[in-house]
Structures are given as C-alpha cells and as structure tokens.
Structure 1
C-alpha cells in the first residue's frame, strides 16, 4: 500500500499540467475579441471578433475546416451564414449581433453550427455569460 501511494504521489508530481480552457474577453483592443483559450498559450477553440459598434461578429472555429452554408441555431432562432476557411486550418463565418439567433446565444450561452453533415457546438458556461453579453454590447451598433 505504501509503495502504491508513493508511486501515485510521484506520478502526480511528474504529470503534465491539465489544460484549462476558459473564455477571455479582450475589450480594450480593436477588434474586440472573446476567446475560448488556454491562457498564456496559442491554443484556441473558438474566437468571436468584432469591430466595436459594427453589429457583426466574426466567429472562428479552430481545428476544423468547413466550407459552405452554415446554419447557426440558438434557442428557437436560426441564422444562415457562409462558412469559409480561416487562417490556421479553421472555419470562419459572420453573424449579426442583432439577429435573434445571436441574441439567444448571448442569453443562454449555447449555439450549434451545422455545415453540411458537420455539427459544432459552441458553449459558454454560466460563469462566463457576462463576458459574452458584454461582447455583444460592445459589438452592437
């Protein structure tokens, strides 16, 4: 038993740190950016960018390259947008922040993007919804 506990303690000390994904709002920059990232790394899952007051959010999904018409669903609302390749092998599309689908996303923190057969959820946990709502406020014109 003592050997097992010692081995477990040693493994815990030498194990790489667990990656913690979080949502971070960069509101003091132009463009305004809300990023789902591992802080202090280049690891990104999703970014939302806008020029303040433009009412257009540019959504980039990393790790998946999709093209074609995208269906963004949040709550009961649906928006259509064209998905295009993004730098670094991702997918980028634009959504109006004054569209009911984006408003539902800002209210509830969940949106699903469907391009062809590929579906990608975007989820902002309750603890980070204030950042999403602030992003929407800063972007809206």
Structure 2
C-alpha cells in the first residue's frame, strides 16, 4: 500500500511540469534565422542562436541567467574565445560569435558549447539528432 501511495505522490508532484524530454531544438528559417532550445508551443526558452543570413555573426541568448555584463569565456572542443556579454529583457544575456571562428566550428562538430561568465557556467548541448539543424543554421548564417 505504501508503494502505491509513493507512486501516486510522485505523479502528483509532476503534474504541471513538462518532462525533461520536452526540451528540443527547433530551426526557424525566417529572417532572422533562429535555432531555439525550447519547449514547443510555449514561451519557455533555454537559449537561442540568431543570425541574419550571410553575416556569419551569431547572437547567442541565454535565458534564466544571472543578470550581468562583462565578458564570457566560450569554449568548444579545444578552442576558446572571449565574448562581450550584454543584458537582454528579463533574466537573459546575449553574446556574439562568428560562424567561421574555431569555437563555433568545434560546436557545430560535436554540439557542445561551454559559456562561463564569472562563476556561472552554462553548457549548451545540441543532441545528436539535432546536429543537422545546427549545421544548417551555421551554413545559412554564412551564405
């Protein structure tokens, strides 16, 4: 009986919370191009990559972040760079990267990007099934 009660309680605690697997990567090929880590059909975002086609400049926005400004250390694979951070609406941060920089190339290759701002670190991971979207996004940004 207590096992059934425990399962029922666990299910009740999960009501109203989307499952972790609800987060996905979506490519919007309008202008600007946007690659969003989101829960579809909601306003919930973790991060977005935006660019104007042909500019090779990607704006990375991080949501639910500690509001700050200054510089971030961005790393992927064995490549690193520094990028200026600016605040955006609510609790968001934005920084810019170039698609032709080794950091972005390494990110497009394996789907892992680390952003460290002060003591805070955010790992952005594009899972294997979504890597084609990331690579297409980079290609469209550079054209």
Q: Choose 1 or 2 for highest CA Rg.
A: 1
24, 27, 33: which is aligned to 2:26?
24
Worse-superposed segment, 63-72 or 122-131 = 63-72
Normalising by structure 2, we get a TM-score of: 0.87
Runs of 4+ in 1 over 2 A off after TM superposition: 14-19
Normalising by structure 1, we get a TM-score of: 0.88
75, 78, 82: which is aligned to 2:77?
75
Worse-superposed segment, 15-24 or 52-61 = 15-24
Q: Aligned residue for 2:101?
A: 99
Aligned-residue RMSD, C-alpha: 2.1
Query: 5+ residue gaps in structure 2?
Result: none
Q: Aligned residue for 1:110?
A: 112
Query: 5+ residue gaps in structure 1?
Result: none
* SS class of match (2:80): strand
Q: Aligned residue for 1:124?
A: 126
Paired residues, number: 136
